[in-house]
Structure 1
Amino acid sequence: MPGCDLPPARLTVGVISAGRVGSALGAALERTGHVVFGVCAVSDASVRRAGTRLPDSKILPAEEVAAHSELLLLAVPDIELAGLVRGLACAGVVRPGTIVAHTSGANGIGVLAPLTEIGALPLAIHPAMTFTGHEEDLTRLGNACFGITAADEVGYAIAQSLVIEMGGEPVRVPEEHRQLYHAALVHGSGHLLTVVLDALDALRAALAGPGLLGQQTVDDQPGGLAERLLAPLASAALDNALRRGQAGLTGPVARGDADAVAAHLAALTPVDPRLAAGYRGLSLRTAERAGTAPAVIELLEGH
């Protein structure tokens, strides 16, 4: 009817491969009405994941998936992406006009050049989210930003539409800044995990021994006493950083308490010298940000 909004075009989607990211995005696209007709899945885990998340999709070789896709989603690890693109280009299976989107954070559209040269429309669509392979992945997509890079405004419009359909928020990332974008995300998420795991190791060492009557024995299994002790503090610290920025800095380093920092290093070193070294390095960066007392910086630099 005149004046009515037309629904967005539905696409025939192929996914290479059915890992945690590819299967989650494929399922999210299917929920919006796109049709994931085929998936390339090699490992037993990928085959099972495809069967669970995309039960109506056929398991097909990569070349066959590429040949019949209107939207081809390349969700392979970063290290495999360039080789996959070259292989598909040499095989000549990608039709001109095919939308080819990869999910790599570190890469923009340059890595897709072999397919762009034969008429594909290149997109980089990276969900800034960690994926576990479980049901929460799809829920988390609704709160995730996606770093998108395209060759022109038409490409950006397509990428933006796809991301919004999946429930995410599209964020433009210039081609030349993809590595910086990815480094920032790795530093703020992957390294955060390392810090938390180190802190839990130290807590387990601190809590070892007889506990309160009826209290759970301290062990190295997730969800124990150490995790329950750290969780509210770590959650509050992250919230402070995101909402208050530099003003959220606290603790002995920010306060310039060199004696406390020295005592911490002395306590951590017997547990694990590598853990103590990590504490020292991060404390020095905290001290630099906070502009703390020179005595703390001298201690941390080893002067």
Structure 2
Amino acid sequence: MTDSPMLGVADPSAPARLAVGLISAGRVGTALAQALESVGHVVGAVLARSDESRERAAQRLPDSEVFDDPADVAARSELLILAVPDDALPAVIAELAASGAVRPGTIVAHVAGAHGAAILAPLTERGALGLAIHPAMTFVGGPEDTERLQSACFAVTATDEVGDTVGASLVYEIGGQPVRIAEADRTLYHAALAHGANHLVALISDAVTVLRSVIDRADVDGTGAPLRSAPEMLAPLVTAALTNVLEQGPSALTGPVARGDADAVAAHLGALRDWTRTAPAADATIVDSYLAQARRAAVYAAPSEALDRVLEEAS
């Protein structure tokens, strides 16, 4: 076996080791497959078509046989992981169903956040056990992804109690925390994650852009703070804010909106509008983003008629 990072130690009382197949060797699928290998399952077959996927499989799943036909992977699997992009999932499921390669009793688990287990009906109708197991984690494509799974929660959706138990067992084995999500709520669940994580990236990127412009204006001769100074300045602040809100909830809100400081918010909006008119390549939609977030923050703050007027008139 490979020298994968150990996420757990195989337990003699754990379920029998499974022959695992992976479709395909992207960031999420590779991390999950490597985590399963680390607790004793055998990832024997991997679908990898692109050069990048083949290289990733060779580096992180070196003992796995690589195929370019999903049916070849399915035929060798007791646990089949479908780790294709969300929009490609229906076509892959239909292709596997038509091939007849998925045997009755095979556990088929997809990792798409917005879909539940119902999308696997073409396979479950042929006797497969269908699971939706989505790790609430961001992936960068390296070995650290596998280690992060140990601290991740997984949204588990199945069609019956047996599926719930199997899905939870697989998650527990690799050190994760299973959280049951109802079939009807998968899209709403995924929207919450995207809003909290993906939009956070956009928010911080906007803040870095504005702050870097401010630093550059002061560094008129180009000999001052390095390029990384804007992220470095923001990092302690946003890290503390994130920790605080996760621990304390909305009561962690600070700053001018929390204080109901209408003058400060109005001044911010004015400064941002001026910046968008004068800074090279400035994006005027940053003003819209600030205003939208200020309105959301105001929902969690103490009532302030003056602030409400500023936010309303700023449209």
Q: Deviations over 1:92-119 (max 9, x none)?
A: 1111110000001101001101101111
| Aligned-partner SS, 1:129 | coil
Partner of 1:56: 63
Cα distance in 2, alignment partners of residues 199 and 167 from structure 1: 35
Between the aligned partners of 1:212 and 1:142, the Cα distance in structure 2 is 47
Give CA-to-partner distance per residue, 1:127-162, whole Å, 9 cap, x none: 000000012111111110000011111111111111
How far apart are the structure 1 equivalents of 2:221 and 2:215?
14
Conserved in 2, the CA contact under 8 Å of 1:107 and 1:179?
A: yes
Aligned to 2:49: 42
- 1:15 alignment partner in structure 2: 22
| Matched-pair contact (CA < 8 Å) for 2:260–2:301 | no
Equivalent position of 2:113 in the other structure: 105
1:217 Cα deviation (Å)? 3.7
* Whole-angstrom distance in 1 between the partners of 2:52 and 2:175: 26
SS at match of 2:186: helix
Distance 1:301 1:111 in 2: 43
Contact 1:208/1:218 (<8 A) preserved: no
Q: 1:29 aligns with which of 20, 33, 36?
A: 36
Q: What amino acid is the match of 1:25?
A: L
The correspondence for 2:238, drawn from 234, 241, 245, is 234
1:1-303 aligned at under 5 Å gives the runs 6-60=13-67, 61-211=69-219, 217-219=225-227, 224-269=228-273, 270-271=275-276, 272-302=283-313
What are the ranges of 5 or more consecutive residues in structure 2 without an aligned counterpart? 1-10, 277-282
Q: Which moved more, 1:39-48 or 1:264-273?
A: 264-273
Q: Aligned-pair distance for 1:180?
A: 1.0
* More contact order relative to length (CA 8 Å, sep ≥ 6): 2
Q: Which amino acid aligns with 2:17?
A: R
The Cα offsets for residues 61-118 of structure 1, whole Å up to 9 and x where unpaired, read as 2110011210000001110111111111112111111000000110100110110111
Which TM-score applies when normalising by structure 1? 0.93
1:213 deviation in Å? Answer: 11
**Cα deviation code 1:260-303 (max 9, x no counterpart):** 11111111122331111100011011112214312222222226
Give the paired residue count. Answer: 296
Preserved contact between residue 33 and residue 43 of structure 2 (Cα < 8 Å): yes
Structure 1 unpaired stretches of 5+? none
- For residues 103 and 117 of structure 1, what CA distance do their matches in structure 2 show? 20
Deviation at 1:211, TM superposition (A): 4.6
1:146-190, Cα deviation, whole Å (9 max, x unpaired): 000111111111111111111111111111111111111111101
Kindly report structure 1 stretches of 4+ aligned residues shifted beyond 4 Å.
Answer: 210-216
Find the aligned partners of 2:126 and 2:15 in 1 and give their Cα distance: 26
CA contact (8 A) 1:11 1:34 kept: yes
Q: CA RMSD in A?
A: 1.8
DSSP 3-state at the match of 2:298: helix
Q: TM-score, normalised by structure 2?
A: 0.90
Cα deviation 1:17-61 (Å, max 9, x = unaligned) = 000001110100011110001100111111111111100001112
SS in 1 for 2:133: strand
Structure 1 Cα separation of the partners of residues 12 and 70 of structure 2: 36
Query: Is the CA contact (8 Å cut-off) linking 1:123 and 1:149 kept in structure 2?
Result: yes
* 1:207/1:218 contact within 8 Å kept: no
Using the alignment, how far apart are the partners of 1:82 and 1:169 within structure 2? Answer: 27
Matched residues in 1 for 2:303 and 2:226: separation? 36
How many angstroms does 1:258 deviate by? 1.1
Give distance in 1, aligned partners of 2:166 and 2:294: 44
**Aligned-partner Cα distance in 2 for 1:302–1:7:** 62
Paired with 2:153 and 2:223, the residues of 1 have a C-alpha distance of: 41
Cα distance in 2 for residues equivalent to 1:165 and 1:295:
54
Contact 2:215–2:225 under 8 Å retained in 1 = no
